[in-house]
Structure 1
Amino acid sequence: MAKIIPFKAVRPAEDKVSLVTCRNYDDYSQAELAAWLNFNPYSFLHVINPAYVHSQKISWDKRFKGVALKFQDFKRDSIFVTEEKPIFYLYEIKTKTNSFTGILAGTSVQDYKDNHIKKHEDTLQYRVELFKEYLHQTRFNTEPVLITYPDSIELNTWISLKKKNKPLYCFSTTTREKHTLWKIDTENEIEWLKEHFDAIPDLYIADGHHRSASADLLHDEDKHLGNPNLDHFLSFLIAESNVKIYEFNRVIRDLNQHSVEDFLKLLEEHFIIVSKQQELWKPTEKGEFGMYLNGSFYALFFKKSNQETSILENLDAQILYDYVLHPILGIDDLRNDERIDYIPGKQSITIIKEIIDEGAFEIGFTLFPIDVNEIKSIADANLIMPPKSTYIEPKFRSGLVVYEL
């Protein structure tokens, strides 16, 4: 059973929401960050970067304490307001190319422990512990875990009708996105949604494996405090068909001491290689890989063997690692090897060409994106995909809805 609960959110005052919310902190360049912090006193960036005003580097402990104090300042100054009672929210994000709609709710830590909320990515323990400490010190979270549920005609119909109501927020951002938020606050609506999700056997994490793991760790460490909010974590629940899954493409700094000619010969053992010269070619189906090397594009077609393979071995990201990155290019640790970097598939293939032509990298690979059924199959089999196998949208606005702990 997938248990969800309404929660008593903290959120921006209606007249300030477009000024308060921000993208993920790491998405900003230093110039952008300085501009927002200098000229927008309401930006949530002031909360998550409290040391900026002092222009100094501080320890994580001091930073987290500063975040907590700044968050309380925003509440005191009525930049943030607290909802009168626990509710759900319906949230729509419209970008230039896609539209996403989901439900903001608390999801159960126990469901996570019991694998009713399923995972497909590994986590780094130091990141889990660091974000757990952030939650422990600040006592709030505004970054929901993105979780998919099976498509439902009944729920889709209800969402369409709900969107006809007057929203709580409707605002646009400088990235030309439109954000709309509706309250789900009647007892009938709340109970109906809880019952609907109660009938779903399993949910699947699309994005946010570290955040959910941190919530689990915090629950175990602080459960003696008797805080019921620790039993759940903030999630954005979205239909499987409504997520957008991009690939992560790879660029590598060198050919591991191989010449171009020798490298191409080594590839021929497992791939059919077709020169595309200057054509900006990308894979059109599974088992195909694009490559940019020495000023030219190539199409690589994997030579499938008759040997039966597992779900994991059949993933394109795993194939590339097993037959190219590891044995030929000497990439062992996909997370930490400084010779490899990753480019989200939503970015143009010309980005890969440009950074290789500039000389920082020598070779690049493009992949075909994974679909949601592959993610579910990996999760159902309790397997873990290679790092950076997916880049998934939507991405949430920080400071829009806050779950207090």
Structure 2
Amino acid sequence: MPLIIPFAGLRPGAEHAAEVAAPPYDVMSASEARAMVQGRPASFLHISRAEVDLPEGTDPYAEAVYAKARENLERLRAEGILRQDPSPRYYVYRLSLGEHRQTGLVAAASVEAYRAGRIRRHELTRPAKEQDRVRQISALNAQTGPVFLAYRAAAAIDKRLQAVSERPPALDISAPDGIRHQLWSIDDGDEIAAFGQAVEALERLYIADGHHRAAAAARVAETRRNADAGGPSGERTRNGDRIHSEDSDHFLAVLFAHDQLRILPYNRVVRDLNGLTPQDFLERVAEAYRVEPSTQPVAPTARGEVGLYLAGRWSRLSLAPERIPANDPIGRLDVSLLHEQLIAPLLDIHDPRRDERIDFVGGSRGLAGLSTRVDSGEMAAAFSLPATRMDDLLAVADADALMPPKSTWFEPKLADGLVSHLFD
């Protein structure tokens, strides 16, 4: 099966795109999502975060949320705000933020290639979040959030993307966060074939962001393949869900060249100090790190450096070089070093995927996003990290290994709602 195929996307017309486009579902709190949809009945958050249309305090994993998401999707289609293209195609998607620009290809990526390791992951998923995406895809009979894929830069693809992006775009909007989103539609048969051949020549693709979406898509595909449907592909089961089809064997994705991507730090906050006082904790930290008080927030860039915000003060932590493994692609990651040298031994947090005592703060929140949560009393301490390097991500994935959870924060983020992948 080829790595990617074209598909007939569901998308807003140019007149509705700015109103529909929304940040990814998982980069905001419930209260932030509710604020974002005020006065915006066509916002895609009504689908990706449908709890905004239910009473405050509604469990975001409640069955009513998924039912409301499906209702809202059907409403936007009935109103003509979202319309499906008449034929399968690829799309070119450009993100611009300040001086940064990246241009990628929107396609339906192969679940089979994901299972076989030709589409490589680098992180495990959190069970609750993966199950949430399974239920969302199943309820909508669609994938509405793209998986962010990277490929090692290839001239055959990049030149074609550049050529398409010199034409007038179908969509061109600037979001409130300053990100410009542009979209082009590729419906010419020869051009579609040329893009498919260029991507198929790649050895592999890499998941940059969207591990939960990819894993959920694979589970949905397997469930539909194994369902006792009692009829040919595409018919409906007695409960109304579509059974296996080629659509469900693929997932919505955007492919970018690795050298265009921008990674920000993915920082950590912890709820308690595992029974230690701040002074005792600092003394224990000093057994592995050189601790230097700082009058300014610490944004480390060197491997082995960490910023610590504790009891209203910043410190710069520097790990002794002999503690940094030189030839271990996972062990040398800054997120790994922090976990193995400090978080696990001192705080007794061994499974950050499941332990509720640790949380993760994307780099777009800035260092104030760390200190605010500590100063409020919600958290006991915060750690700022250097950004993971793209070369490190590729090395881990090529080794068929896994990074610790929440190792990378890619910025700018893809918008939800500009193109969705339907199963019908």
Pairwise CA distance, 1:2: 5.9
Deviation per residue, 1:103-134 (Å, 9 max, x gap)? 10011111011100001100133432332232
Q: Which stretch has the larger CA shift, 253-262 or 176-185? A: 253-262
Q: Deviations over 1:113-170 (max 9, x none)?
A: 1100001100133432332232122111110100001112333232222211111111
Question: Residue in 1 aligned with 2:409?
Answer: 391
| Residue identity in the other structure for 1:273 | V
Q: Identity over aligned residues, as a percent?
A: 29
Q: Aligned partners of 1:128 and 1:236: how far apart in 2?
A: 19
Aligned 1:1-400 pairs, distance under 5 A: 3-27=3-27, 33-34=33-34, 37-48=37-48, 55=55, 57=58, 60-96=62-98, 98-223=100-225, 225-276=243-294, 278-305=295-322, 310-400=328-418
Deviates most, 64-73 or 89-98: 64-73
Q: Which stretch of the first structure deviates more once superposed, 260-269 or 187-196?
A: 260-269
1:264-293 Cα offsets, whole Å, 9 max, x none, are 3322332222333x1333222111122223
CA displacement at 1:367 relative to structure 2: 1.1
- CA change 1:75–1:358 in 2 (3 A) is closer
Q: What SS is found at the alignment partner of 2:339? A: helix
User: Is the CA contact (8 Å cut-off) linking 2:334 and 2:385 kept in structure 1?
Assistant: yes
Tell whether the 8 Å contact from 1:293 to 1:363 is kept in structure 2 after alignment.
yes
Provide TM-score, normalisation by structure 2: 0.87
CA contact (8 A) 1:2 1:116 kept: no
**Kindly tell me: are residues 90 and 308 of structure 1, through their superposed partners in 2, closer, same or farther at Cα, counting changes over 3 Å?**
closer
Corresponding residue SS for 1:379: helix
Deviates more, 1:246-255 or 1:2-11: 246-255
User: Structure 1: any 5+ residue segments left out of the alignment?
Assistant: none
Any idea what the Cα deviations from partners look like across 1:217-264, whole Å, max 9, x if unmatched? 111111253411112111010110122112211222333233444333
Report the Cα distance in structure 1 between the residues aligned to 2:329 and 2:110, rounded to whole angstroms. Answer: 28
What secondary structure is seen at the aligned counterpart in 1 of 2:282? helix
Task: Give the superposition deviation at 1:71.
Answer: 1.8
User: TM-score normalised to the size of structure 1?
Assistant: 0.91
Distance between the aligned counterparts of 2:4 and 2:25, measured in 1?
A: 28
Gap change, CA 1:199 and 1:54, over 3 Å in 2: closer
Residues 275 and 400 of structure 1, relative CA distance in 2, 3 Å threshold:
same
The letter of the residue matching 1:22 is A
1:100–1:394 Cα contact (<8 Å) kept: no
In structure 2, relative to structure 1, the CA distance for the partners of 1:241 and 1:358 (3 Å cut) is same
Moved more, 376-385 or 54-63: 54-63
1:192 to partner: Cα distance: 0.8
CA distance in 1: counterparts of 2:331 and 2:54, whole angstroms: 50
Distance 2:98 2:308 in 1: 28
For residues 174 and 318 of structure 1, what CA distance do their matches in structure 2 show?
35
Name the CA distance, whole Å, in 2 between partners of 1:53 and 1:281: 40
Q: Is the 8 A contact 2:125 2:405 kept in 1?
A: no
1:2, 1:200 within 8 Å by CA — same for their partners in 2? no
Mapped partners of 1:226, 1:335: distance in 2: 31
Structure 1 contact 142–402 (Cα < 8 Å) conserved: yes
For 2:322 and 2:36, the matched residues in 1 are separated by 54
The residue matched to 1:84 in structure 2 has which SS?
Answer: coil
